[in-house]
Copies of this chain bind each other. A is one copy, B any other.
Amino acid sequence: MDLRQLRYFVGVARERNFTRAAEQLNIAQPPLSRQIQALEDELGVALLIRNSRPVRLTEAGRLFYEQALQVLGRVEQMRAATRRVGLNQNSVLSIGFVASTLYGGLPSLVRKLRHRTPDIEIQVLEMMSVQQIPALKEGRIDIGFGRLHHSDSGVVEIVLREERLTVAIPKDTPLAQDSAPLPIGALTGQKLIVYPKEPRPGYADQVLNLLHGHDVRPAEVQEVREIQTALGLVAAETGLCVIPSSARQMRSDVHYRLLEGERATSPVILYHRVGDTSPYIDLVKEVIREMYAENPPWLSAEHNLPTRPSFAE
């Protein structure tokens, strides 16, 4: 498959007519027909219904059309962004983040950064905490927002906040009768669902370690790939799940209770390379400091321990 084939197919799908599409694409009609055939051959799927005038799209073709439009748009953006960066010699700030920070301050941070530094290109990449460390060292990202402590001497970590943990409980079960914080001990003998299954060690192990440290043994532990699935299983009464408090808003058909206990928190951590002299690292810290001073909703005392980033004193 080839971008040319995508462009050709989009032309035909839009015009619903090979001849006119060929004119717009500045080629003759036969090569256009052949390219579309080649595309269909490669996919092993018919995209167009030709024994009909005007030509119609199959279900697969309809799907392929919308996606092709998106891919072509993406390629255009990529070309433009690369030109901008290359020609103006301005630089790129690449930020890795774990999904859960999307429910906290990340979107707002990125918006503020873009606003404050129109001269640099900001790129955000979703990746798990453990993947962020090698990504930083290889230069694939410059800043990371994750949830795991690490021990790599090449990467600095700064704990931004300690978010309290919450237990998701199926409605209409005994534990869901109360809304008060739940002692960790109450999880003994319960079925537990943890995520993510990969990569390990990850947030799942943080939770399991916390329980182990309190001598709590769940009856059964089921691992799933992502939080959505985990909460789905909770709703289906398959078990309980421990989540960062900010993830409460993801589902409303389960019951939530804060987890009560010494270290029943999950940190949000900023990573960057040691000795990274880029002024943007400081800018990021500066903006974070401002944001924390505004006391945003995701920093509510109810769902966070009263700590502040070390640089925000």
A residues at B contact (CB < 8 Å): 1-4, 43-47, 57-60, 62-68, 70-71, 74-75, 77-79, 81-83, 85-87, 90-92, 94, 108, 111, 115, 121, 123, 125, 139-140, 228, 232, 249, 251-253, 294-297
Contacts and interface: CB of A to CB of B under 8 A. Distances in A.
Contact of A140 (B3, B62, B75, B249): B62
A1 B264 CA distance: 51
A252 B297 contact: yes
B92 A43 contact: no
A63 B252 contact: no
Nearest to A295: B252
Q: Classify the interface of chain A: helix, strand, loop or mixed.
A: helix
Given A83-B44, A228-B111, A71 B60 contact: no
A75 B42 CA distance: 13
Given A74-B74, A252-B295, 20 more contacts: A2-B2, A44-B87, A45-B82, A47-B82, A58-B86, A59-B86, A60-B82, A60-B85, A60-B92, A62-B139, A63-B85, A63-B121, A64-B78, A66-B140, A67-B74, A67-B81, A67-B123, A71-B78, A108-B251, A252-B297
A43 B86 CA distance: 9
30 contacts: A1-B3, A2-B3, A2-B4, A43-B79, A44-B83, A44-B87, A45-B82, A45-B83, A59-B85, A59-B86, A59-B91, A60-B82, A60-B86, A62-B92, A62-B94, A63-B82, A63-B85, A63-B123, A64-B78, A66-B94, A66-B125, A67-B77, A67-B81, A74-B74, A108-B251, A111-B232, A115-B232, A252-B294, A252-B296, A252-B297
